[in-house]
Amino acid sequence: MGFVFTSEDNHVSNMLWAVTSGVGSGICFLVLSIIAISMLHPASKHQLDRVSFRIMIYALLANMIFGIASTINALQTAGGFSCAFFMWLLMVLFIRVVFRIALNGLLSQLTLELSTFFLFCIALNLQCVGASTWREWTDDGEILRVLAALAITIPPYASRQYGWDPLNEACWYTSDMTSVRLRWQVGTQVFWSLSCALGEIVMFFTVLTYMLRHQVLHGKAVRSRSRSIGTRSRAASISTTTNGKVPQTMGHAQMYQSVIARISLYPLASLIINTLTVASDLYQTTSNGVKTETDYRILLLNDFCYGGRPLVYALLAATDPSLVRALQSLWRHVRGRKDDTTGDSSGPATTSARGGTSHGQITVHIELNEVRRLDDGTEVGSPPAPNPIALKRMPGESTTDSIHEDSELKNEDSDDSLPGGDSRAARLEHLQRAQIGRAMELRQGTIERKQERKEFKKQI
């Protein structure tokens, strides 16, 4: 006895679609609520100032609406003009209308295209990071993506191609002719999904290749620089520590390679999901309904991919490095206020005058050699005594003032001629000032690299 597609099988398929979509949209709403709380609090707001994260928020919002529409579509038993019209009106108003009206195919297709375009722009942002024209375009690019999705989905809606599917007994494409159905499906869904998927995989491997090549070339540059620094610094041993983090000489792409690799998971997940859904849709369209057990399994796979799409992106967004750092900053802030109210002295790290957490200080170890000149002209040196000096900027003192004062000290040292053997203290002071001058140069370079990393972090 062959396979027969029954109403019970159809109910299982629709419930799989509805449950996965409902759970995914609920988790999307939860993650968006957490993001909203983090963005409203000043202690964690700056951690979320990243271009790809803002695009991810729009994609998460589109996936949440897509999950809600998919849940309602899966529970539909028949279609109609009023249902499709109100669904189109809801997407035009976006989320200004409450979800008390019956929704159907247009909202699902429109939010699907929005989700695809937003996730494609995350991959495009990785490719174009650092370009000023791209940063300017992303400010108004969301409107263009919405208009593109409207331009794709309004023609089939006006042609009444969205509605009740008699072949699969669900809300989908209404035509029962394979050629007409395939033409509309390819032009309004399959082509755009495959184009974004191919673009995402090209950009993903382009960024990955750049990171690997940059790591190899940068490793050679670091080794060459370390050798040159070792030949110059024979009188001083300078070590810079920033809470045990990576060295400051690392480049931007190498330091944030974990962040870039983590962001690349969005287009990679979109590539996998789009490929599976497109293949399943084309198979169902060309098979003219569910006739075999293989057709039924592919139908369940298609329902799971459509329903699990919001769930996958919600989980990726919940583990995003920017959101994790924002929640950690918010937790430290709340815990610090709690320690202050209870009088606990073992609170979190101290904060600077700007309100940020102190990430460590630059410690300069200076080795001074005491040289004694005997009567016969020979010099006798004593063992070097390390003299660690922790450089801290006083409140109100700027970096430029420190560099200016250091340059004045160097000019005074160059103008004053020290006669040999006159004063040992003068020699020690001269050497100490020279070491402090080099330390200040190192400090200025560290501050500049930190500022560059902040700007690079905002771009990605």
Q: Tokens standing for 17? A: 């679609």
Q: At CB < 8 A and 24+ separation, what contacts does 34-38 make?
A: 34/318, 34/323, 34/327, 35/317, 35/323, 37/330, 38/323, 38/326, 38/327, 38/330
The answer to whether the beta carbons of residues 203 and 124 sit under 8 Å apart is yes
| Residue 384 tokens, joined | 């070097």
Both tokens of 177, joined, read 């002719």
Give every CB contact of residue 83 below 8 A, 6+ residues apart in sequence: 76, 102, 103, 104
Question: With 50 as the cut, is the pLDDT of residue 353 above it?
Answer: no
- For 298-334, b/e burial (b = at least 16 CB within 10 A) is bbebbbbbbbbbbbbbbebbbebbbbebbbebbebbe
Residue 186: is its pLDDT beyond 60?
A: yes
3-class DSSP state for residue 46? helix
The letter for the amino acid at 32 is L
Cα 327 to its chain centre, rounded Å, is: 15
* Domain match, 269 and 387 both: no
Among 266, 196, 228, which Cα is nearest to 51's?
266
Examine residue 347 and state whether it is found in any structural domain, yes or no.
Answer: no
Please answer whether residues 106 and 189 qualify as being in contact, where contact means their C-beta atoms are separated by less than 8 angstroms.
Answer: no
Residue 86 pLDDT level (bands cut at 50, 70, 90): very low
Residue 350: left (phi > 0), alpha (psi -120 to 50), or beta?
A: beta
Range of the domain at 384: 362-459
Q: Pick from 75-79, 89-93, 274-278 the range whose average pLDDT is largest.
A: 274-278
Residue in 451, 122, 84 with CA at minimum distance from that of residue 270: 122
pLDDT > 90? residue 232: no
Q: Is the per-residue pLDDT at 389 higher than 50?
A: no
Provide, rounded to the nearest whole percent, the portion of the chain with pLDDT above 90.
6
pLDDT of 367 higher than 70:
no
CA separation for the pair 117, 148 (Å, rounded): 9
Single residue among 282, 317, 334 that ends a domain in this structure: 334
**Averaged confidence pLDDT in the chain:** 67
Mean pLDDT check: name the lowest of 11-20, 192-201, 405-414.
405-414
Q: How many domains does the chain have?
A: 2
Residues in Cβ contact with 344 at an 8 Å cutoff, skipping those fewer than 6 apart = 338
In the prediction, which pLDDT does 180 show?
A: 87
State the Cα–Cα distance between residues 452 and 455, nearest whole angstrom.
5
Q: Would you state the pLDDT for residue 459?
A: 53
* Lowest mean pLDDT segment, chosen from 53-62, 66-75, 162-171, 341-350: 341-350
pLDDT, position 26? 94
The answer to the question of residue 101 being in a domain is yes
DSSP designation for 189? I
**What is the pLDDT at residue 144?**
67
Closest Cα to residue 10, out of 103, 84, 76, 104? 76
> What mean pLDDT is predicted for residues 118-134?
49
Give the model's confidence band at 23: pLDDT under 50 very low, under 70 low, under 90 confident, else very high: very high
pLDDT of residue 58: 79
In a domain, 356, yes or no: no
User: Is 181 strand, coil or helix?
Assistant: helix
343 domain-assigned: no
pLDDT bucket at 140, cuts 50 / 70 / 90: low
Task: Tell me whether residue 342 is in a domain.
Answer: no
Is the domain of 329 the same as that of 366?
no
On whether residue 407 sits in a domain, the answer given is yes
CATH number at residue 272: 1.20.1070.10
For residue 455, what pLDDT band results from cuts at 50, 70 and 90? low
- Domain presence at residue 397: yes
Q: What is the pLDDT of residue 301?
A: 93
Q: Would you say residue 15 has pLDDT above 80? A: yes
Measuring CA to CA, which residue among 145, 72, 88 is closest to residue 113? 145
pLDDT tens for residues 290-338? 888 998 999 999 889 888 888 988 898 888 888 888 899 989 888 887 6
Q: What is the pLDDT of residue 208?
A: 67
**Are 319 and 367 in a shared domain?**
no
Domain co-membership, 293 together with 426: no
The answer, yes or no, to whether residue 34 has pLDDT greater than 90, is yes
Same domain, 368 and 299: no
User: Do 276 and 424 fall into the same domain?
Assistant: no
Most confident of 54-68, 165-179, 217-231, 248-262: 54-68
Beta strands in 245-326 (DSSP E): none
Residue 190 is classified by DSSP as I
In the three-class reduction of DSSP (H, G, I as helix; E, B as strand; rest coil), residue 162 is classed as: strand
Same domain, residue pair 166 and 22: yes
**Residue after which a domain boundary falls, among 314, 334, 354:** 334
Which 3 state secondary structure label does DSSP give 246?
coil
Read off the pLDDT of each residue in 44-54 and give the average, rounded to a whole number: 79
Q: Is residue 12 part of a domain?
A: yes
DSSP annotation of 27 reads H
